[in-house]
């Protein structure tokens, strides 16, 4: 049995795609489209928990990959035993069914391919997700949870994502969550050159945020981190002042903008900490933008006079405006994804046909 799959150009001319072969493959998860940040953080993967979660999920499927970012938590399963939703909810101990999506077979393959290409991201075309998918696949391999099918699907997803980026221009001039946060600060405060910004965190997202703050003209940036050495390294690399987390409340009154991008497992700043900081700078508002999941800025900060609190879900308007200039690239990008998924289906059909013929060949040899 074969499946004729047209090229990407043919897909553009004829959007109707032949049905793909059913695969023993599924994805269950939630993202920014199905769940607000207060729900997404309930399914967040905290540092060090990946191995435990993968171990739990391995009782429900032979092959498992866990993909967790600030805007999504997804589990990919092959060789499934039981209900994927039950497996997902059991891993986090929460009833999340009203916010979960489940895709099976070819739909699950296309979903991962779209994710890896940045087509399912809050920021369409963003490039960080490619590395996140690669690391998720590597984590599955490290725990011997990635076999023939998951390896093939993950490889195909990364290749499709690379094609989309190089062939469509979708990632040209794309914003990131970090740059969108800085743009939000500019919309609120105007020129940032004379403003002081404070970054909570010193990881990859914090580094991107500092880079975008510098590009926006911010001269004074304070990097606050639980590990003072990490804060110092980032501040020295890109320019800024380092501060250990225990001294946050001493430097907070200086900040016009606070951008939180830490992986802390709890709130690190509350309304009771922001209130005295604002009292020490009368007439000057403070804009706090939390791009962490789970959030690390307590929602009660919004009740403090002079404090303006935002989270990831508030960046949607900025992201949508940025997409307008790149929207023409979307049809070609989607066509590449469908073509790549069709290639996977053809591989699967060929492999299954070979496996079905193999026992007959072995039987014939045994009877000679």
Known binding residue 339? Answer is no
The whole-angstrom separation of Cα 176 and Cα 208 is 9
The tens digit of pLDDT for each residue in 48-69 reads 899 999 999 999 999 999 999 9
Residue 72 forms beta bridges with which residues?
A: 31
Helices and strands in the chain, H and E counts: 14, 10
Phi-psi region of 217 (alpha: psi -120 to 50; beta: other; left: phi over 0): left
- Does 5 participate in catalysis according to the annotation? no
Known binding residue 126? Answer is yes
The whole-angstrom separation of Cα 363 and Cα 368 is 9
Arithmetic mean of pLDDT, 251-273: 94
Known binding residue 69? Answer is yes
The dihedral built from the CA positions of residue 210, 213, 217 and 223, taken in this order, carries a sign that is negative
The tens digit of pLDDT for each residue in 100-111 reads 999 999 999 999
> Which domains are delineated in the chain?
11-173+337-367 (3.30.460.30), 177-311 (3.40.50.720)
The tens digit of pLDDT for each residue in 210-259 reads 999 999 999 999 999 999 999 999 999 999 999 999 999 999 999 999 99
Q: CB under 8 Å to 366, separation ≥6 — which residues?
A: none
Known binding residue 190? Answer is no
CA 122 → CA 109, 148, 258, distances in Å?
A: 20, 31, 21
- In 169-247, where does DSSP find H-type helix? 177-189, 204-215, 228-238
């Amino acid at each position: 049995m074969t499946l004729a799959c047209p090229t990407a150009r043919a897909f553009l001319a004829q959007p109707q795609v032949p049905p793909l072969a059913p695969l023993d493959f599924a994805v269950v998860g939630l993202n920014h489209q199905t769940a607000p940040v207060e729900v997404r953080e309930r399914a967040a993967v905290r540092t060090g928990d990946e191995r435990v979660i993968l171990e739990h999920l391995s009782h429900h499927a032979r092959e498992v990959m866990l993909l967790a970012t600030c805007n999504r938590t997804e589990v990919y399963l092959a060789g499934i035993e039981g209900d994927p939703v039950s497996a997902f909810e059991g891993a986090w101990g929460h009833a999340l069914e009203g916010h979960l999506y489940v895709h099976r077979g070819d739909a699950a393959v296309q979903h991962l391919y779209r994710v890896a290409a940045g087509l399912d991201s809050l920021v369409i075309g963003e490039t960080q997700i490619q590395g996140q998918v690669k690391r998720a696949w590597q984590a599955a391999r490290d725990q011997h949870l990635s076999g023939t099918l998951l390896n093939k699907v993950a490889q195909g997803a990364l290749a499709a994502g690379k094609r989309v980026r190089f062939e469509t221009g979708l990632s040209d001039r794309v914003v990131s969550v970090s740059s969108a946060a800085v743009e939000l600060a500019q919309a609120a405060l105007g020129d940032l050159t004379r403003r002081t910004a404070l970054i909570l965190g010193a990881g990859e997202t914090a580094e991107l945020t500092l880079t975008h703050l510098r590009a926006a003209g911010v001269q004074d940036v304070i990097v606050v981190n639980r590990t003072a050495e990490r804060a110092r390294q980032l501040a020295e690399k890109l320019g800024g002042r380092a501060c250990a987390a225990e001294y946050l409340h001493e430097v907070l009154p200086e900040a016009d903008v606070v951008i939180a991008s830490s992986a802390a497992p709890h709130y690190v700043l509350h309304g009771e900490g922001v209130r005295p900081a604002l009292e020490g700078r009368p007439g000057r508002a403070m804009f706090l933008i939390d791009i962490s999941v789970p959030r690390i800025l307590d929602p009660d900060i919004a009740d403090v006079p002079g404090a303006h609190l935002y989270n990831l879900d508030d960046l949607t308007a900025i992201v949508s405006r940025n997409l307008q200039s790149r929207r023409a690239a979307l049809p070609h990008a989607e066509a590449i994804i469908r073509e790549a998924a069709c290639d996977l289906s053809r591989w699967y059909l060929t492999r299954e046909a070979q496996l079905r013929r193999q026992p007959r060949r072995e039987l014939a040899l045994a009877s000679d």
